[in-house]
Structure 1
Amino acid sequence: MGDILVGTCSWTDKALVGSGWYPVGRRDAEGRLRYYAERFPVVEVDSSYYALPGERNSRLWAERTPDGFVFDVKAFSLLTGHPTRAAVMPHGLPADARDPGVLDEVWALFTQGVAPLRQAGRLGGVLFQFPPWFRPGARAEAFLEDSARRTEGWPLAVEFRHPAWWREERAEATRALLARYGMAAVAVDMTQELPSSIPPVTPVTSPRLAVVRFHGRSAAWGTGSKEDRFRHGYGEAELVGWLPRLRALAERVERVHVLFNNCCGDAAVRAAESMTRLLGSRGSAPPARARTASSGA
């Protein structure tokens, strides 16, 4: 039976910092991360989507967290086909993913940036979150193949934002595609009332890792401000409904990462605390490690 690690999709979100969740004296960069890591065993780095991660920051993150703590690092926007601001491109490179030279250099810098986490055994996974226009087809499959080649040996997770990938008639082909490259499929919890809604399927495509991201159930998904899109406080009944699926995933993989992305105030950390309690906390520190174990363990 695998571990179920529960955390959130950011520990530096302005709304979280302003919510009062971090106590006085623990609100600087080092204090926040240490405080968070005392309570949860995993966190997602979302800043790496907006700007390439740096080796110094990665080294500090590893130094400031306890053994067993892991970081899921979101791939830089250019590496997943999202629009990228010229201002965040290194060395004055154009924000053009179609240029092989640009892509090679950005990949090299991303690899360097996460190297301290890999070397310290703290890289829980690299998240490829693809845009809504990334549809099934030959071009998308070639993109995935290239990404897998560049990250051979890394723990990878893929979140599709186009619902066609997981519709009933396509789901098995998608599962087989990700399994071919050892990429973990990301399951999502979100509102199911929109044409763009991703079905809450939980396929297993890697023996190492499964990831579930809870985006909240706001009907403003895809529109409005960030606060509108992610404003949702999970009730206990909504979380309890996921327990059988999370435990079923843990029966089949080494680790399940459960990450709350409803980053509006302290909603994500409160949901993560509740999910940890519902799963039952066992085993060694960090205390929020929820281990589902066979009898006698």
Structure 2
Amino acid sequence: MAIRVGTVSWTDKTLIDCKRFYPALANNAEKRLKYYASRFPLVEVDSSYYAMPSVSNADLWAQRTPANFQMNIKAFRLMTGHQTPPDLLPPDLLASLPPDTRSKRMVYLSDFPKDLKDEVFKRYLAALTPLRDAGKLGLIHFQFAPWFLRSSRDKAHIAYCVEKMAGCEVSVEFRNNTWLAPEHVDETLAMLRDLGVTHTTVDEPQGFKNSVPAVWAVTNPRRALVRLHGRNYETWDIKGATAASDRFNYDYPQLELEGLAEGIRRLNGEAGDVDVIFNNNHEDQGQRNAQTLMDILGALAVQPSLDFGGEELPF
């Protein structure tokens, strides 16, 4: 049983600009990933939410990281019920859409004929082949839209996602709190267990209409997932944010991390592995907090590998 700790992304603008995490020699994309991977055994790729991933990028990620490194990949926004600008689609897929759909300012997966919907998932999964072949593909993380409801249609969509990601481990995160409300939580967790997917325990501000409660539960005996969004009440419901770091600007104090470590240890007793992802991403908050949590967990935390295939890093 292993606990891997990491952060969302290693390329956030405020992280690079603050110049507190990366040394001066880590001055390009390749060196930053290598430096990050020398500090943490896990990262969540979020660029795959904003655009379809590519085989070439996945191949570079696999080449630039040590053997025990794991990359959790966030599902493309179209796949999780979010509105998507049509120009984010591959040109040939866009050209295959019905004209009335293609001309929309935003499209949804429900606008797609079934064959094109299937093709989106097929291409997404194919792009991750280099990571799968290298044994570095962790969870494929589906963070569903706030308007993704407890309807028969949306429940069927979760099953569809799991089917299309066959052979990979899937994690599910809800942003509509009705899924995990006291009267529905047992049913939701049972559904996830039946599908064999990983429930996501979240830490985030409570008391808002869009707050999701922290439910510390295991639905996949192979792996549990904890995503830490911070507890910034002032920015949680902010309107007009220009970057994710505007919303998730939070620095976890030691005492809160020690409390979270207790829940993480409990999950570790029930699941084969536990992934912990810090999504507080203003400057180097996530990286500092992730290191502190690893220190708190001690021997339970997987340590990063410095074996880059014989290459000596200059850091």
Bucket of the pairwise TM-score, normalised by the shorter protein: over 0.9
Identity %: 40
User: Contact conserved, 1:189 with 1:216, CA < 8 A, in 2?
Assistant: yes
2:150: which partner in 1?
136
2:245: which partner in 1?
227
Alignment of 1:139-288 (within 5 A): 139-219=153-233, 220-224=235-239, 225=241, 226-281=244-299, 285-286=303-304
Hey, what's the Cα distance between the residues in 2 that align with 1:71 and 1:284?
14
Residue by residue over 1:172-224, the C-alpha shift from the partner in whole angstroms, topping out at 9 and shown as x without a partner, is 10001111111100010011131221111111100111110000112222323
Cα offset, 1:158, TM superposition = 0.3
2:32: which partner in 1?
32
1:69: which partner in 2?
69
Hey, what's the Cα distance between the residues in 2 that align with 1:65 and 1:186?
25
User: Contact conserved, 1:281 with 1:287, CA < 8 A, in 2?
Assistant: no
1:87 lines up with 2:105 in the alignment: no
Hey, what's the Cα distance between the residues in 2 that align with 1:234 and 1:181?
33
Cα offset, 1:285, TM superposition = 4.8
User: Contact conserved, 2:220 with 2:271, CA < 8 A, in 1?
Assistant: yes
Q: Cα 1:282–1:214, aligned 2, differ >3 Å: closer, same or farther? A: closer
Q: Cα 1:151–1:283, aligned 2, differ >3 Å: closer, same or farther? A: closer
Residue by residue over 1:78-119, the C-alpha shift from the partner in whole angstroms, topping out at 9 and shown as x without a partner, is 111101111211025144412123212211210111111111
Runs of 4+ off more than 6 Å:
none
Cα offset, 1:254, TM superposition = 1.3
Choose 1 or 2 for highest CA Rg.
Answer: 2
User: Contact conserved, 1:218 with 1:228, CA < 8 A, in 2?
Assistant: no
Counterpart of 2:4 in structure 1: which amino acid? L
1:294: which partner in 2?
none
Hey, what's the Cα distance between the residues in 2 that align with 1:268 and 1:285?
17
Residue by residue over 1:209-250, the C-alpha shift from the partner in whole angstroms, topping out at 9 and shown as x without a partner, is 111000011222232323331111100111111112101111
Aligned-pair RMSD on alpha carbons? 1.5
Counterpart of 2:22 in structure 1: which amino acid? Y
Counterpart of 2:236 in structure 1: which amino acid? W
- Greater Cα shift, 70-79 or 13-22: 13-22
Query: Any stretches of 5+ residues in structure 2 without a counterpart?
Result: 95-101, 307-315
Q: Cα 1:260–1:109, aligned 2, differ >3 Å: closer, same or farther? A: same
TM-score by length of 2: 0.88
TM-score by length of 1: 0.93
Per the alignment, in what secondary structure is the counterpart of residue 228 of structure 2?
A: strand
Q: How many residues align?
A: 287
